[in-house]
Amino acid sequence: MPIYEFVCESCGHPFEAIVPNFSSTAPCPSCKGREVKKQLSVFAAHTNPGGEAPCQTPACGYKSGACGSGMCGVN
C-alpha cells in the first residue's frame, strides 16, 4: 500500500498516511477531521556533482567514506 501526503482542510495539519489506493483518504491524526486534501509528493535525490568528499555520516548505512555517491540521503 502506498504512502500519501495529506493536509487537513479543517486544522491545516500536514500528515502522511498509508492508504489502500489512490482514491482513498485518511482522517487527520490531529483533529480527526475527514476533510483532507492529497498533496503532490516530489521526488528528492542528492547527488555529488562537485566531487565533494564522500559521506562521513555513520547513520547513512555505509561504512565511513565508502558511500562516495552522496546518495545516502543523510547529508
pLDDT digits (tens, 9 = 90+) for 11-52: 999 999 999 988 899 999 999 999 999 998 776 666 656 555
pLDDT of 58 reads 56
Identify whether the C-beta of residue 15 lies closer than 8 Å to the C-beta of residue 44: no
Identify whether the C-beta of residue 69 lies closer than 8 Å to the C-beta of residue 61: no
- How far apart are the C-alpha atoms of 53 and 23, rounded to whole Å? 44
- How far apart are the C-alpha atoms of 33 and 69, rounded to whole Å? 43
pLDDT of 29 reads 95
Residue 74 has pLDDT above 70, yes or no: no
- How far apart are the C-alpha atoms of 23 and 49, rounded to whole Å? 38
Q: 63 Cβ partners below 8 Å, 6+ apart?
A: none
pLDDT of 72 reads 56
Residue 55 has pLDDT above 80, yes or no: no
